[in-house]
Amino acid sequence: MTEPLWWQKGAIYQIYPRSFQDSNGGGIGTLRGIENRLDALVDLGVDAVWISPIYPSPLADFGYDVADYCGIDPSFGTLEDFDSLLDATHARGLKLLLDFVPNHSSSEHPWFKESRSSRENPKRDWYIWRDPAPDGGPPNNWISDFGGSAWEWDEASGQYYYHAFLKEQPDLNWRNPEVRQAMMDVLRFWFDRGVDGFRIDVLWHMIKHAEFPDNPPNPAYTPAMGAMHQVLQLHSTDQPEVHGIAADMRRVADAYPGRVLVGEIYLPVERLMHYYGRGEPEVHLPFNFQLIEAPWEARTLAGLIADYEAALPAGGWPNWVLGNHDRPRAATRFGPRQARIAAMLLLTLRGTPTIYYGDELGLEDVPIPPDQVQDPRELREPGLGLGRDPVRTPMAWDTSANAGFTGGAPWLPLHPDWQVRNVAAEREDPRSMWRLYHDLLELRHAHPALSIGDWLPVECSDALLAYERRCGAERMLVVLNLSDRPQSFAIPEWAEGLSVLLAAQGGRDPAILGPDEGLILG
């Protein structure tokens, strides 16, 4: 077996920078704030940090509307602050990943301002412009992911431009070779600076059907889904030509040894696999979001794990995600006790896990009063539960004012129990969620079977999920009770001599698992 790469052995920790740590009293997180908390991440046991967008931005979508791909927004700091953070990260043996947002820029980006200035401008074709339909309306029926038409009328030039998200986020035209070259140069800029990789935002969106036909209606649509689901995104996403772009990005990354590309792709598994590359390599890790979306049932999870493992192409490395900045938190979806089982599942499956900041505290979604809502997703379609503010609230560090996050007024409210649910308190509690994450990460580092070993199913019932992790002569058993009732378990003969190394709730008997119990034997 070849020596595994750092991103195969390690765990990635996602930071939403506005909410991690303030350093100047402004009420939002900063790069210096992140640097000041790096030792806490080392103590937790993660291996890499991924930071959501920190580029200059008007903040129409809180950084996902980029006005300069090679700078730092002043609210977060300066390029010098970033270099200091990068050096401090590497000095601690950690890796640093940035968010790359290539599908669209801000409407305030100089490129778009030029493109919008006239039909004759050399950058006109850097974005997607189309004439009106015969009736004078939008060119087709495509719907923005934030609701409403995905086309915005530009009175001055007499055409519509396309935006998959907000109108302040015009989509770049990736069929234009000059756009491709400019964005590859952005990757090189940050790789040259020393970053260890990128998470690529909405990778599957980046090419649209060349003829822009209408998308078909969604027969399963209900208003509760949100307006974007009125149609199926057949022609506006996941086009064949996107794989050439991903391969170009991979060629850039491969020129910098040890770098990694992670692709955000919400697609069924069989289509997700194509982003590993067919014929030539694409992204190293197409994000696998199944644990976010699947029913929390043992048989369902056992099936999707086995199917995902079987679908991986030769050399394809798996990955798992339990939460992120767009979806409800694990402790909200599963409840506090089952969130511990979810953590055990995330950190004992084969492949690279990604931990969303705050999940190690067991944070739940925080209710946001209507007058404090910040997220344009919620503001555009209120009351559907699509808002993302509840999962982006400030990190709680200790019992000082504002949980040690800021000396000012936090940009979003803290969770109500921050005085007891914070890093300092949970570090001292051997039964806390923080301690469980710490101990799971420690086990992963100590046992190759848990980080890089094979995954083999052992047993599945309505409530019980068990599997083996094996690396060479090392064999480990993971048994998870996904119910609030005791469950009996027939220990495999090969595992009868194994000891309990870690328990979610403190149990010691693998033959009878208590409610919401999970055990790791080795």
Q: Which residue is associated with the tokens 């990354």?
A: 253
- Contact residues for 3 (Cβ-Cβ < 8 A; gap 6+): none
The edge-to-edge listing of strands for the beta sheet with 352-356 is: 285-286, 260-263, 197-200, 95-100, 48-51, 12-15, 352-356, 319-321
Give 2's DSSP letter. P
Q: Which residues are catalytic?
A: 201, 264
Label residue 127 exposed, middle or buried (CB < 10 Å: 0-12, 13-18, 19+): buried
Q: Identify the three-state secondary structure at position 285.
A: strand
Closest C-alpha among 35, 46, 40 to residue 82: 35
Note whether 111 and 95 are within 8 A (CB).
no
Closest C-alpha among 504, 509, 456 to residue 480: 504
- Contact residues for 458 (Cβ-Cβ < 8 A; gap 6+): 466, 467, 468, 477, 479, 492
- Contact residues for 361 (Cβ-Cβ < 8 A; gap 6+): 396, 421, 422, 423, 426, 433, 434
Q: Identify the three-state secondary structure at position 503.
A: strand
Element at 48 (helix H, strand E): strand 48-51
Give 352's DSSP letter. E
